[in-house]
Each structure stands twice: as structure tokens, then as C-alpha cells.
Chain A
Amino acid sequence: MSQINRSAAQMNATVLSNKRVGQYHQIVFGIGDLVKSCRPGNFVAIKVGGDSSRMILRRAFAISRVAESVSFGGTMELIVAPHGAGSKWLCSQAEGAEVDMVAPLGTAFGIPTQQVKALLVGGGYGSAPLFGLAEVLKARGCKVDMLLGASTGGKIYAPMEGKRSVNSLKIYTEDGSMGETGRVTEPIKALIQSREVDVIYSCGPMGMLSAISALVEGSDVVHQCAVEEAMACGIGICMTCVLPVMGEGGKIAMLRSCIDGPVMDGSQVQWQMVGQVPEVSP
């Protein structure tokens, strides 16, 4: 058997709750034992629109967190922004509805064996998987600081219960409607210089991930980022979600963000070349 997609399975997941939180929907699914294979950073692919839908492709969502409870068994939370027709359909699913889900997919955030100082940086609803990650890091005895940013306060996702799993949380909005005015990347340089951080975990728009990679360059800080690229399949067969990444021997490879990601080493992603291909042949 291959190692690719090795924990993944297709299943019907039941919607246990669906709540509006600011501009997002917090949807909790019953997924049974599959919860045991889910790690922070993994994502799921959900069939949308029902059987007669003209939308033929699944939609990918980062797993916000998973839990095991006595009453519901394994549960999984997703934070969904109702942007397009597919995500709007998912947000309209009522309690008790069943959705066709393939999970878990992709790489996970690496969890350090030592008690490191971790900085978690989220842009928009990209913060969702960071709260599940924070719980895991906290349980390992890591110091967990979190920075969240968005264009405006309504796009910040920061649940009350999530705040308990971090040592500190700072919010930045570009319009100043919540937290400090400015971009989430602004305080990072000073934190690196004062050695306040060993590992940065990031999730959000590609521009933010790229900016953090630039700030980290030349330091000892490790940057693990969860990338976002348009996918058709989520399981590695369509080759649409590729990113230029420095590989072994100094050669750039076009890697699939669904199976070689979404979590990648930010220092290896060739951010300036995203949307291009190298001019010379591989």
C-alpha cells in the first residue's frame, strides 16, 4: 500500500451543529473513529450541492479542531466562510444533515519534541486550525503566543474557548475596527530579534505567508505554513494545486499542496515564483 493519503477515508459525516460566528459558520460534524487520524494542519474535502449539483468538485476545508466526547463520539469542527456557491451550500446545512466527506488529507503541522516558544499567526479564518494546534502545543508544555489579523474586525475568528489555550493573543485589523490598527506581520520582526520565538506556525492568505517567510529569513526561526492553492481533487491526482518548492539538490519542484502540503516549510517555498514555472527545464 502506498503512503499517500494513508489515513484518508470517504464517509458520510453528520452535521451536529451549525452556528454563525461573525462572518463565518462554525460547523461541527460527527465523524466517529476517523477523528483519531486527524492532526492539526490536515484538511477535509466535502462534496457540495447535493446529488444533482452542477458543482462536480469537492471543496477543501482546514480542520479547525477535533474532539472525542462520550455523547457524540468523534467530532470535527470546521470554520467556513460562505464565499462561493459550494461553501454557501455547506453553511446552509442544518443539524442532522449528512455530507460526503473525505478525511483527513494532507500534511500536518510538525509538533516539536521540546518545549519551544511557538508563535501562531492567522489571517482571517485561517486562524481556525491554529486553535486546535495551540491545544496540542500547550499540552506539550510549549509557550503559545498568537497573532490574528484581518482587513476588518468581522473577519477575525477568535472563539472565547480558543483563547484559553494560548498564553497571549493579539489582534490586528487594517481598518482598526478591532485590536490594533495594522497588519499582523508588523510585530514579528521584533519578536524574532528579541528571541521570543523558536517556531512560527502560520495559516492565512498567501501574501501573509510570503511576508512571514521574508521576516524569518536569516534567523534560526522555523516557519511552518499552511498554504492555500486552488485544488480540484485534494488527493494528489489532478496536479492543479502545485507550488514551486526548493527540493533536494537545489532543484525546484512543482509540489502538490494537497499531499506535499498544505503544511510546508516556508523557507523552501519559492514565493516569488508562485503563479509561474521555472524557465529552465527540471
Chain B
Amino acid sequence: MNNFDFSTTLGNAFFNTPIFTASGCASSGKELAQFFDLRDIGAVVTKSVMNKPRYGRPTPRMAETPSGMLNSIGLQGPGIDAFLASDVPWLIEQKSRVIVSIAGETVEEYATLARKVRSVSGISALEVNISCPNVENRGLVFACDPDASRRVIDGVRRTIGGEIPIIAKLSPDVTNLPDIARGVVDAGADGLALINTVLGMVINIDSMRPHLGGKTGGLSGPAIRPVAVRAIYQVHAALPNVPILGMGGVTSGRDALELILAGASGVSVGTASFGNPLAVIEIQRELRELLIAKGFPTLKSAIGYAHRVESQ
């Protein structure tokens, strides 16, 4: 079936396929370009960038855990100006679709970042990462506070206008995720990215201290996939018309289909790329084959299919 409609949309942005990289798991695309053609996937979601260059957290920054890993990078990056001057033009030159992910420490920083992103053409969507767990102060995890989440998205929405869709990236580490989701959608988010990593910790039993330099880290990989499926299912049930970019431990086409059935319009592949540089392209191929084998006429017809009410 060469004519299978694999396309998807997030707000007003159109993508040929629903498989993307995940922010923080593909840097800015150059590293993976050796392994597959970036044009062949839905989009490259770039590593969350802040306004200023940033060193991030001290090493060790990584601990492998059963079917997963903790990372504690702390948003190391070149800063938005250098990023927009070199990384984005390179991606556009490759004819890759680009979703830029931004992270800030204040509501104002997010607005500044959005203004700078707006000045560059060729970007398909803006991911607003309000849920990075690797910051010094948990109070800065905007996505844990409904009011702070709304203020960030409101500020970005006012700055960026209606040109490119805003996707708010949320944390599963909250009591009432649909409430937070509703808040950011009311404030102007066009879509939601679910889920960011889950806050975790490993203690080294030799040193008998937290293993990571930053003490806590974000848990990712197959270990968190059921958390992602639950989060996407809950939010899609509450907000069926809001597109969701799903992510969390997807390592196969089967896993991607699970997130789509729960309600995701697109799926990002993150940690799987660490273990397999070809993961994104292989998962994309498997998903396409699986959708056809299951008899779906289009990708879109599978989105949220797990919520269907059987006719009597």
C-alpha cells in the first residue's frame, strides 16, 4: 500500500509522517544524519534551548536503570542566538521539518525565546518545554503548577501570534494532568507533548550517595511507557480535539501504535535512539506496516481508537 495516508497534523502544521525525534534525544539532528535521511521522518524536535548558553549539570549525568535510564543534563546548550544562527539553518538546508523546543527560567524568558524563534522562517512548530525536571529548583518546573503553566503559555502565545503552533510539553509528575492540560490549552496552546521524563534517583551503593551529579534525574525508556500511555489516554479523553505529540519509552512500531491508540497524533522517539541510532526510521517503518496490517485506512483513523464506543 504505497498510497497509505501516513500524514498527521499538529495544530496548523502538517507532517508527512507521525514519527519525530524527541527533544533532548537528537541534539540538533547532525549526529543522526549519518544514519538516516532527516527528510524521511516527520520532524526533528531539537534539544530544548534557553536564552543564554548554559553548561548544564555536573557529571555523572547518566545512570542506566532496568529498561530505562536516568539523565541529568540540565539543559546544556549554546543559547538561542547561536542555535538559530547555525543549527536551524543547517536543518532547513537538509530539508528537514523542524520543531524548536524552548525552555526558560521565567515567564519573560519564554516570551523572549518565542520572539526570537518567530523571527526565523522555516520552523514548523514550537515546543514549549515547561517540564524539564533537571533544574535546581523544583519550583521552576512550571508544569507542576497550573497557574505558572498558564502564564508561560499565555506569554508565548501573545508573542508568537498565530503563525506556528505552540505545543506545551507537560510532566506526568502531577496530581491532575487533565487540569494542567486544560489550563495551557485555555492559555493558547495548540497541542500538548506528553510526557516528559519522570523524576527519579539512583543511589550508588559503593559511595552510598546519590549517583548523579545533580542528585535527581529524569527517568526515560520503556520503563515509563505505561505512564505515557495512561497520560495520553487521560488527556485525550478530557480534551479529544487537542492534538497530542506522544512520547515515553517507544522502541518499536508496536509501542508507537499503542500511544496513537491512546490518543497521540504524533509520536516522538527519544531514548531508543541512544541504544539504536536507526530507531526513529525503523519505528516509522514498523508503525506504517502495522497500521496497514491492522486495516486502518489512514494514520488519522487510528488516533484515539482505544477510546471508541462500540455501536450496539
A residues lining the B interface (CB < 8 Å): 1-2, 4-6, 8, 10, 47, 54-58, 100, 102, 229-233, 235-243, 254, 259, 274-278, 281-282
Contact = CB atoms under 8 A, between A and B. Distances in A.
A235 B55 contact: no
18 contacts: A2-B31, A8-B35, A54-B67, A56-B251, A57-B64, A58-B275, A233-B277, A236-B30, A238-B71, A238-B73, A240-B59, A240-B73, A242-B56, A275-B58, A276-B58, A281-B53, A281-B54, A281-B55
Interface of A is mostly: loop
B211 to A, nearest CB: 10
Nearest to A280: B55
Given A237-B26, A239-B27, A277 B58 contact: yes
Interface string B30-60: 1111110000000000010000111111111
Interface of B is mostly: loop
3 A-B pairs with least C-beta separation: A240-B62, A2-B30, A233-B274
B31 A236 contact: yes
A93 B71 CA distance: 30
Contact of A56 (B56, B68, B76, B277): B68
B213 A56 contact: no
B55 A10 contact: no
Nearest to B29: A2
Size band of the interface chain B makes with A: 35 or more
A239 B57 CA distance: 10
A276 B31 CA distance: 25
Contacts of A235: 31-32, 35, 277
A240 B61 contact: yes
Nearest to A253: B55
A282 B55 contact: yes
A259 B34 CA distance: 13
B274 A238 contact: yes
A276 B56 CA distance: 10
Contacts of B159: none
A230 B60 contact: yes
A10 B276 contact: yes
Nearest to B63: A230
Contacts of B57: 277
A239 B55 contact: no
A4 B30 CA distance: 7
